[in-house]
Structure 1
Amino acid sequence: MRYLKWQFKFETHNFYKYLVIVFYLSLIFSTLQNMSDENKNKYATILTQSISYLENRGYKNIKANLKGYTTPKSYAKVGSDITITPDIVAEKEGRKHYFELSLKSKKTNLLKSKWLFLNTLTALKSHRFRIITTRGHFQFTHNILEDIHLNNKKLIIV
């Protein structure tokens, strides 16, 4: 009987974690669909620079939202058309790392929700979550991280 009570508590604990993930999924919409062509080209350039930076640092099995690379796994909310795809997923020393590009955007709430979701997901699965930014976007990224209380995240500047 005691085992069943412990098992129920464990399942309830996981339920709350998944509830948080579903909440974050409900807040996020696709930001790339509304980008202009100029922003998409800038995004693709920075994404390519980030991938080459990660390859030089020893990351293997790199997946990215870019032509020539396999697309990372997307997470979708059941009953909705909301999907989240990390910008880059790579492995190093047997551990999976999720990377997000941080560029200035007017849709900060969507960006915050996506980062919180990916941070929660990686913590749940014992993976790593890092944010990549460039010069000119550092202060914007730092302010967003302070707003969502992720001050402990070290930024990668490409």
Structure 2
Amino acid sequence: MIGKQKLENIAILEKSINHLQAQGFENIKADMPGYETPKTFLKKGAGSNMVPDISAVKNGIKHYFDISLKLDKPSILKSKWLLLDTYSRLNAAVFKIITTKGHFKFTDQLLEDINLTNKEPLKI
């Protein structure tokens, strides 16, 4: 999610956190009030910050999660996903995308557009 979407969809973020806790993830950090903020990435040139929606640890491996919801201008989301995917591969971490009912097709299309077809989104 990006910017204002996070404020409008806190319930989806909380549902995702509860799902991850049930799956055995620990040290959960989320970009929402009441949680520690995950690592922030600065995009040089644009001067914008990119923060994964959720980060957690399971079996000693760091996982980064981003929630996919429909939006009008997906270019920001695409660049965020490419950054998180590249960073996670370089640092022996895992990057996953979480999506909900009504956003599956949008998510699959974005993954195809940026050639991340090997990513299977978590459907919550």
Q: What is the percent sequence identity of the aligned residues? A: 46
Going from structure 1 to structure 2, the CA distance change for 1:59 and 1:109 (only over 3 Å counts) comes to same
Aligned match of 2:54: 88
SS in structure 1 at match of 2:65: strand
1:9-158 pair list within 5 angstroms: 31-32=2-3, 35=4, 40-41=7-8, 43-78=9-44, 81-158=47-124
Output the CA distance in 1 between the equivalents of 2:2 and 2:39. 17
Structure 1 position 75, deviation (Å): 1.1
Shift of 1:40: 2.6
TM-score, structure 1 as length reference: 0.74
Structure with the larger strand share: 2
Q: Which structure has the larger Rg?
A: 1
**Where does residue 17 of structure 1 map in the other structure?**
none
Q: Which residue of 2 aligns with 1:27?
A: none
How many Å separate the matches in 2 of 1:133 and 1:92?
20
Encode CA deviations 1:43-87: one digit per residue, 9 max, x unaligned. 211000000000000000000011111001101145763111110
Between the aligned partners of 1:79 and 1:140, the Cα distance in structure 2 is 28
TM-score by length of 2: 0.93
Q: Which has the higher helix share?
A: 1
Secondary structure at the residue paired with 2:116?
A: coil
Deviations 1:117-152 (A, max 9, x none): 100000010100000000000000000001111111
RMSD: 1.7
Q: Secondary structure at the match of 2:28?
A: strand
Structure 2 residue aligned with 1:10: none
